[in-house]
Amino acid sequence: MALPPSGTTDEAFLREVDEEYRRSQMLGVWQKYGRLIIGAVVIAFVALAGFLFWQHQTDSAAGTKGEQYDAALRQIEQNQPDKASPELAKLAASGTNGYAAMSSIVEGNLLVQKKDLKGAAAKFAAVAGNSGYAKPFRDYALLRQTSVEYDTLKPEVVVSRLQGLAKPDSAWFGSAGELVATAQIKLGKRAEAGKLLQQIAQGGENVPDTTRQRAVQLASVLGIDVLDQSKEKQAK
C-alpha cells in the first residue's frame, strides 16, 4: 500500500484507505452474490405485480358480489324471497367479507318473516360469533339474535349479552338499551332500568323518535318523569 501523498493529513489518508477497502469489499460481494441479488430484485417485482393483480381481482370480486347482493335485495322487494335465497346463500358462504355477513343477516330476517325464530336466531348467532366479521356486523347480529330469542331468555342473559351495546356511545344504544331496561325491570332493578330509559329518552339523534317515546312511556310506568327529547325539539 502506498504512503500518503505529501500535504495530506493522517485522517484524510485513513479515509481513503477505508473507502478503498469498502470498494474492494463491495466488488467481492457483487462477484459472489450478484446473481442472487438480481434474482431477489426480480422476485420482489414479481411479488409486487402479483399483489397488485390480486388487489385488482379482489376489487373486481367485491364489485361482482355487490351486484349480486343488490339483485337479491331487489327480488326481496319484489316479494320474491325464494328467488333471492339461493344467491344470498352463495354470498353468505363466500368468506368473512361484508357481503357475506349482510347476506347471512338478511337470511335471518327472512326466516323471522316466516316465523322460524329458531332458524333465524341460528343465522344471527353464526354472524355474531364469527370473529372474522367486522364488529358492526357482529354487534347488529347479536342484537337481532337476542331480540328474536328474547321471550325464551332469562333476563340476566339479556343484560349480559347487550350491556356493551346499551351505552350512549353505541350505534345500537336505543334498541339494545330498551331490551336491557325491560330485562332489568324483570330482575327488579327498577332504578337501573329508569336511569337507562332516561338516557334513551335523551339520546339525541342516535336514538329514533319512536324508541325515545317508548322509553318515556315505560319510564312513566315506573313512576319516573322523563323528558322526550323529540317533543322538546318540536317545541323549539
pLDDT tens readout for residues 154-186: 999 999 999 999 999 888 999 999 999 999 999
pLDDT reading at 89 higher than 80: yes
Do 59 and 131 fall into the same domain?
Answer: yes
Do 131 and 220 fall into the same domain?
Answer: no
pLDDT (0 to 100) of residue 46: 47
**For 143-161, what is each residue's pLDDT tens digit?**
999 999 999 999 999 999 9
Q: Which domain holds residue 90?
A: 40-149
Do 145 and 165 fall into the same domain?
Answer: no
pTM for this model (two decimals)? 0.69
pLDDT above 90 covers what percent of the chain?
43
Do 162 and 213 fall into the same domain?
Answer: yes
**For 24-78, what is each residue's pLDDT tens digit?**
555 554 455 455 544 545 445 445 444 444 444 444 455 778 888 888 888 988 9
pLDDT (0 to 100) of residue 228: 54
Do 163 and 142 fall into the same domain?
Answer: no
CA distance 203 to 122: 31
Given 118, 149, 180, the domain boundary residue is 149
CA distance 23 to 3: 19
Do 184 and 220 fall into the same domain?
Answer: yes
**For 189-236, what is each residue's pLDDT tens digit?**
988 999 999 999 988 777 888 888 888 888 888 887 666 555 544 444
pLDDT (0 to 100) of residue 7: 44
Do 98 and 168 fall into the same domain?
Answer: no
Beta-carbon count within 10 A of 71 CB:
12
Q: Is residue 8 part of a domain?
A: no
Given 88, 119, 149, the domain boundary residue is 149
CA distance 50 to 231: 58
How many structural domains is the chain composed of?
2
CA distance 18 to 134: 56
